[in-house]
């Protein structure tokens, strides 16, 4: 999934880069006739025209010419560009700089109406466009694309950054969790499982990293009867209540003749031994047998702790009928 995401980002980046390059290279040549003055001391039958040529692109436009209806006669009156020539019905500009405009004032003699006056504008490389309003002259395409791209990027980052931050936070928490769990690997090696229920509890703060509320003491087997002894220790200021009994994995054979410990109370700063036992069915696989244990420290209840005799060297020796020893 991560590879697909990276490929998608690479393709999108390439497309955006191509679009930006195109936008900055595209030609944008426009002509506007904003005003046509019907009254002037310079002419009785003609009109005064204002023409404005726009180069919105980022490239120089060369050999720009504005062609006007040939039925009229024209005279150049003024311009803000020094390099403007009038050739009969054609205005010629040798060049128009990028992102600039040129204003030209002409006198046109003859029957002329604003609706019928239709000039054109072209350059050496570009066919320009005639617009009727200033608002129709667009800004530079590159700037537009960059602005839109920046906006899209901002919106994207508004979604991506929180998501990535949450992923980072999650990874940090997972790494911290693995680091903390690693400190209690000695308990897993001694046959304990479900330790995260204890490790991330408030009660754990009362114990050092080499301590645990319940420690295996010894195990013995006599015939089908299997007995395990633990030492429960309360290092908290609240009473500790311990419940422990044998059980089997899902799908395993049920155990009977159990001797369980229910709500055994351990006063603060004291230790009490407790014993649990069961009759082991002949068809039961040793690895499916475990002791389930719960702690209650005041109002805090911890479930899900398990002790597997088959994973503890001393307990497994007793379970298999070999000479047993005390706590490893």
CATH number at residue 217: 2.60.40.2950
Q: Give the Cα separation of 312 and 187 in Å (integer).
A: 10
Q: Give the Cα separation of 150 and 154 in Å (integer).
A: 6
Looking at residues 205-223, what average pLDDT do you find? Answer: 93
* Of the residues 101, 118, 137, the one at which a domain ends: 137
The residue whose two tokens read 């799908």 is: 251
pLDDT band at 325 (very low <50, low <70, confident <90, very high): very low
Three-point CA angle 308, 179, 171, nearest 5°:
115
| Within-domain flag for 79 | yes
User: Is the Cβ–Cβ distance between 203 and 297 less than 8 Å?
Assistant: yes
| Within-domain flag for 102 | yes
| Within-domain flag for 206 | yes
Pairing of strands 120-122, 61-67: antiparallel
- Number of structural domains in the chain: 2
| Within-domain flag for 221 | yes
* Whether residue 251 has pLDDT greater than 70: no
Q: Give the Cα separation of 307 and 123 in Å (integer).
A: 88
Claim to verify: residue 195 and residue 117 sit in the same structural domain = no
| Within-domain flag for 311 | yes
Q: What percent of the chain has pLDDT over 70?
A: 86
Looking at residues 127-133, what average pLDDT do you find? Answer: 91
Q: Give the Cα separation of 211 and 43 in Å (integer).
A: 108
Claim to verify: residue 200 and residue 128 sit in the same structural domain = no
| Within-domain flag for 6 | no
User: Tell me, what's the pLDDT at 65?
Assistant: 94
Claim to verify: residue 52 and residue 112 sit in the same structural domain = yes
* Of the residues 104, 137, 170, the one at which a domain ends: 137
Claim to verify: residue 243 and residue 303 sit in the same structural domain = yes
Higher pLDDT, 154 or 194: 194
Claim to verify: residue 102 and residue 195 sit in the same structural domain = no
User: Is the Cβ–Cβ distance between 24 and 141 less than 8 Å?
Assistant: yes
Q: Which domain holds residue 309?
A: 186-319
User: Tell me, what's the pLDDT at 208?
Assistant: 92
| Within-domain flag for 328 | no
> Of 111-120, 149-158, 164-173, which range is least confident?
149-158
Claim to verify: residue 127 and residue 204 sit in the same structural domain = no
Rama region for 191: left / alpha / beta (φ>0; ψ in -120 to 50; rest) = left
- Which strands, in side-by-side order, build the sheet including 256-259? 214-222, 225-234, 270-279, 256-259
User: Tell me, what's the pLDDT at 112?
Assistant: 80
| Within-domain flag for 198 | yes
Claim to verify: residue 207 and residue 105 sit in the same structural domain = no
Element (H, E) at 130: strand 129-131
Cα-based distances in Å from 246 to 2, 225, 227, 228, 303 = 45, 12, 10, 10, 14
Claim to verify: residue 206 and residue 303 sit in the same structural domain = yes
């Amino acid at each position: 999934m991560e590879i697909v995401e990276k490929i998608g980002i690479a393709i999108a980046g390439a497309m955006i880069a191509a679009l930006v390059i195109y936008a900055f290279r595209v030609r944008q040549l426009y002509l506007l006739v904003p005003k046509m003055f019907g009254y002037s001391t310079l002419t009785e039958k003609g009109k005064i025209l204002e023409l404005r040529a726009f180069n919105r692109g980022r490239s120089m436009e060369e050999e720009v010419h504005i062609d006007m209806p040939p039925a009229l006669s024209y005279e150049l009156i003024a311009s803000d560009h020094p390099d403007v020539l009038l050739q009969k019905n054609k205005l010629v500009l040798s060049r128009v700089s990028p992102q600039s405009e040129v204003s030209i004032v002409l006198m046109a003699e003859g029957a002329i109406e604003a609706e019928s006056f239709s000039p054109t504008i072209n350059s050496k490389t570009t066919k320009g466009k005639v617009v009727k309003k200033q608002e129709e002259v667009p800004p530079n395409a590159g700037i537009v694309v960059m602005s839109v791209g920046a906006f899209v990027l901002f919106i994207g980052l508004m979604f991506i950054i929180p998501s990535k931050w949450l992923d980072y936070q999650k990874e940090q928490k997972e790494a911290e969790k693995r680091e903390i769990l690693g400190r209690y690997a000695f308990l897993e090696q001694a046959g304990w499982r479900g330790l995260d229920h204890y490790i991330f509890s408030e009660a754990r703060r009362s114990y050092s990293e080499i301590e645990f509320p319940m420690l295996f003491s010894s195990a013995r087997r006599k015939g089908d009867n299997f007995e395990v002894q633990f030492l429960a220790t309360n290092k908290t200021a609240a009473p500790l209540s311990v419940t422990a009994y044998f059980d089997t994995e899902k799908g395993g054979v049920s155990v009977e003749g159990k001797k369980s410990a229910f709500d055994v109370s351990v006063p603060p700063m004291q230790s009490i031994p407790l014993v649990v036992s069961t009759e082991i069915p002949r068809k039961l696989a040793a690895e499916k047998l475990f002791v389930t244990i719960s702690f209650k420290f005041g109002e805090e209840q911890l479930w899900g702790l398990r002790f597997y005799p088959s994973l503890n060297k001393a307990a497994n020796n007793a379970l298999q009928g070999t000479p047993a020893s005390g706590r490893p």
